[in-house]
Amino acid sequence: MGSTTFTDDFLAFSVAGIGAVLLGLVGLLVGRRGPSVKGLLLLTLLLLGLGGAGALAQEGTYLWRGPLLLAGLLAVLTLVRSALLERFLGTGLRLLRQPLFQAGLLLAAGTGVVIWQVVAFDQVGAADADLSWAEIDRAILLNPVSEVRALTDKGNPVPLFSAQFAKEEQAGVNLELELLRRQNLQNRVIQTADADMAYNCHGWVFTGGRHWVRGTAVPQILQDNGYIAVSQPQVGDVAVFRNLDGSVAHTGLVRTVADGLILIESKWGQMGRYIHTPTDNCYRACTCSYYHTTRPSHVLRGVSDDQAPAVEMGSGPGI
């Protein structure tokens, strides 16, 4: 279970909102009598159980936060439907106790949450589109590296690449500064290295900054090199940022873990390296998770590690 990001919140609230809409529609179809208090209580307990199981299993936060949010709403409605509150508040809650009113409330609340999340997602998507990653990494050609043969610990080859522009141009410092400005990151990140076309984020982590590595190779590296997913990272663990479809978009190294603060250092495409939090970065629409290994280095076999990032690997799994 990784840090909570915009994507986690979006999915969690969306699950809760869609669930509320469905329950509201069912309630309207059932009619005036509506589901019994006992039925609402059982459904609430079921959602609490699913949410609790998901949290204990360290699954994606949207898989357990959504059910828990919906369970909380149902718990309130169940309490209102019961006779307990009437003893203290009289008949003022009569309207709230009506099944049709509750169904309409669920439908309206769920619809509002879904619309809210769609608007929020569109805003983040628009911000990311304005940054134009295609412009930043435009016209980059990846040429296979043949003189170095990188392998995982299980002997599976990992393709390495060198990068160049199709045209004689580079993004330059100005575009890098513009990206930081548009994301409002100027005062939220610390630059640790200048822009460098010699390597990308995965190449910095797994080749010591010597080559480019595609994101599609990262899952195989994690599996073959004995990485385990951890909920509480240690200094030196690998941070993996994934898109909504689960594909790997970015990787970095955990540099600081203290009092709930996690700082990650990573290489941003062809740009420089930065120290940042799991949420204040150019990959904020991604979900961040952490992986630990007992290997002495993250660098792949066959690649010289004399330029490997200097990190303290940690002494335990950090679960």
Does one domain contain both 233 and 140?
yes
Residue 89 lies in a domain: yes
Does one domain contain both 72 and 218?
no
Which of 109, 130, 151 is where one domain is finished?
A: 130
Residue 309 lies in a domain: no
Does one domain contain both 137 and 89?
no
Give per-residue pLDDT as tens, 159-214.
Answer: 999 988 655 445 555 667 777 877 778 888 999 999 888 999 999 999 999 999 99
Residue 316 lies in a domain: no
Residue 298 lies in a domain: no
Residue 303 lies in a domain: no
Count of the separate structural domains present in the chain: 2
Which of 74, 109, 130 is where one domain is finished?
A: 130
Give per-residue pLDDT as tens, 290-302.
Answer: 999 999 999 999 9
Round the average pLDDT of the chain to a whole number and report it.
Answer: 77
Name the residue range of residue 141's domain. Answer: 133-292
Does one domain contain both 155 and 251?
yes
As a three-state string, the secondary structure of the chain is CCCCCHHHHHHHHHHHHHHHHHHHHHHHHHCCCCCCHHHHHHHHHHHHHHHHHHHHCCCCHHHHHHHHHHHHHHHHHHHHHCCHHHHHHCCCCCCCCCHHHHHHHHHHHHHHHHHHHHHHHHHHHHHHHHHCHHHHCCCEEEEECCCCCEECCCCCEECCEEEEECCCCCCHHHHHHHHHHHCCCCCCCEEEECCCCCCCHHHHHHHCCCCECCHHHHHHHHHHCCCEEECCCCCCCEEEEECCCCCEEEEEEEEEEECCEEEEEEECCCCCEEEECCCCCCCCCCEEEEEECCCCCCCCECCCCCCCCCCCCCCCCCC
Does one domain contain both 124 and 236?
no
Which of 130, 156, 173 is where one domain is finished?
A: 130
Residue 66 lies in a domain: yes
Range name among 51-55, 213-217, 270-274 with the lowest pLDDT average: 51-55
Residue 230 lies in a domain: yes
pTM of the model: 0.59
Does one domain contain both 116 and 257?
no
Does one domain contain both 111 and 141?
no
Does one domain contain both 122 and 247?
no
Residue 63 lies in a domain: yes
